[in-house]
Amino acid sequence: MINIRRATLDDVPGMMVQLNEYARQAEILPRTKDDVYRTIREWVVAEKVEDGDLTQSIVGMGSLLIMWRDLAEIRSLVIDPTCQGLGLGRQIVTLLIAEAKTLNIPQLFALTRKPGFFLKMGFQMTRLETLPRKVHRDCVFCPRFHACDEVAVILNYELGITNYEGRRSS
> Is position 144 an interface residue for ligand COA (rule: CB under 6 A)?
no
Cα separation, 36 vs 56, in Å, equals: 19
Cα separation, 58 vs 147, in Å, equals: 32
> Is position 27 an interface residue for ligand COA (rule: CB under 6 A)?
yes
- Provide the 3-class DSSP secondary structure of residue 109: strand
Stretch near ligand COA under the rule CB under 6 A, chosen from 2-10, 29-37, 48-56, 84-92: 84-92
Cα separation, 91 vs 137, in Å, equals: 28
Q: Which of 20, 39, 57, 84 binds ligand COA (CB under 6 A)?
A: 84
> Is position 78 an interface residue for ligand COA (rule: CB under 6 A)?
yes
Closest approach of ligand COA to the CB of residue 18, in Å: 9
Residue 69 carries which DSSP code?
A: T
Stretch near ligand COA under the rule CB under 6 A, chosen from 7-15, 35-43, 51-59, 83-91: 83-91
> Is position 22 an interface residue for ligand COA (rule: CB under 6 A)?
yes
> Is position 21 an interface residue for ligand COA (rule: CB under 6 A)?
no
> Is position 89 an interface residue for ligand COA (rule: CB under 6 A)?
yes
Cα separation, 66 vs 50, in Å, equals: 34
Q: Radius of gyration over alpha carbons of the chain, in Å?
A: 16
φ/ψ of residue 74, rounded to 5? -90, 125
The tally of CA atoms less than 13 A away on the side-chain side of residue 43 is 25
> Is position 162 an interface residue for ligand COA (rule: CB under 6 A)?
no
Binding site for ligand COA (CB under 6 A): 22, 27-28, 77-79, 84-90, 110, 112-114, 116-117, 120
